[in-house]
A = this chain, B = another copy of it.
Amino acid sequence: MSRQKEVTIYDLARELNISIATVSRGLKDDPVVSKKTKKRIFQLAERMGYRYNHFARNLRKQHTNTIGIIVHELNSNFITSVLSGVERVTTDAGYDLIIAHSSESAKKEAANAKNLFHKRVDGLIASLSFDTRDLEHFRPFIDRGVPVIFFDRVDEAGDNTIVVIDNYKCGYQATEHLIHQGCKKIAHVTASLNRNVYAQRYKGYRDALFDNDIPFSEDLLIVRDLSEAAGIEAAMCMLKMKPLPDGAFITNDFVAAVCMRTLKENGIVIPDDIAVVGFNNDAVGKLIEPALTTINYPGRDMGEIVARNLINHLQGISKLEQTKTIIVNSNLIVRKSSQKNNPGFLKQKSTRNK
């Protein structure tokens, strides 16, 4: 761990026979110091391997120019898209980003929050983990006036600013689409209904069924997590149903893909036997066969919107308190996995509206 002595502005000042104030100013290109001295400063700094001390600076300035983001998982197309959107905006605005992920654990999420709090991020962006029940670990930020924005997985009840898609509508659309294809028994594979996104999608699903006079029964609802095992289990569940469902709305593309594979292995033809709609528009949907009908969830846009709002607040351009909810566009992408070949049915159904 032998780290040789750091060179500081004192060293530069001594060497150049000027004051540390001038060095400090020169280093940040303050127009008030002469071109000549600035040049000398930069050259010497370079030569001596000077690096400015983040800590001294932050200690002095009392803010960090850093924003933190807590996500539930890195291993997801959607999340990495969000991240890239956030990053574009934050780096443009000269902010650093610290990425933390909770691995879907409320405990880790709280630890991350605490850590970012101590690191004194100027603002926080978060999407809740699977099993997060309350928002206590965000209290310190709010108490201290550090702005927090939630996206995707949020607590709708609180009065924090949230950025979401219309999960209810998406659930409704996805289900309605299956109904239009002639499905009369639609399974719903999803994750914990405690999380707003899944609860809303479920609600949309239920309402679409109801509005179309399709009966619902509890055993059509399959709640698991987002793992490969979940996909296999869901398929097994469906295979046991008598009669088989003729459609499935699965709220995650990866799970949908695994599920489809398992169904196919068991002789089910998709979409003829079971039509499938996923969620997120992950890359995998276009790779599997048949290609997966899904809801396009524009992560990058969402990331940009979240970050832009946070930074505007930080810069005093707008107040976060004025905005409670921002809804980002999303839409159904129809591919092969859901298209049944029964135009006759479609015609007969065409009176339905909205």
A21 to B5, CA, bound (A): 27
Interface contact A49-B284, CB-CB below 8 Å: no
- For the complex, count residues of A whose C-beta is within 8 A of B: 49
Q: How far is the CB of A304 from chain B (nearest CB, A)?
A: 15
A1 to B56, CA, bound (A): 21
Please, how many angstroms separate the alpha-carbon atoms of A75 and B79 in the complex?
Answer: 9
Complex Cα–Cα for A284 and B289 (A): 12
A68-120 contacts to B (CB < 8 Å): 74-75, 77, 80, 83-84, 96, 98-99, 103, 115, 117-120
Q: Which residues of B contact A145 (CB under 8 A)?
A: 1-4
- Residues of the B chain whose Cβ atoms lie less than 8 Å from the Cβ of A2: 145
Q: How far is the CA of A228 from the CA of B267 in the complex (A)?
A: 30
Report the separation of the CA atoms of residues A289 and B284 in the bound assembly, to the nearest whole angstrom: 12
Verify if A249 is at the interface (C-beta below 8 Å from B).
no
Does A333 sit at the interface, judged by CB under 8 A? Answer: no
Q: Which positions 255-313 of chain A face chain B at CB distance < 8 Å?
A: 257-258, 261, 283-284, 286-289
For A288, what are the chain B residues with a Cβ–Cβ distance below 8 Å? 287-289
Residue A316 at the B interface, CB < 8 A? yes
Interface residues of A in 99-154 (CB under 8 A from B): 99, 103, 115, 117-120, 140, 143-146
Q: How far is the CA of A119 from the CA of B54 in the complex (A)?
A: 6
- A144-B4, A146-B3 given; A286·B314 CB < 8 A: no
List residues of chain B with CB within 8 A of the CB of A316: 1
Task: Using known A-B contacts A51-B117, A55-B120, A80-B75, determine if residue A254 contacts B283 with beta carbons closer than 8 Å.
Answer: yes
- The complex places the Cα of A52 from the Cα of B114 at a distance, in Å, of 11
User: Which of chain B's residues has its CB closest to A56's CB?
Assistant: B59
Q: Does A58 contact B (CB under 8 A)?
A: yes
Find the B residue at minimum CB distance from A231.
B287
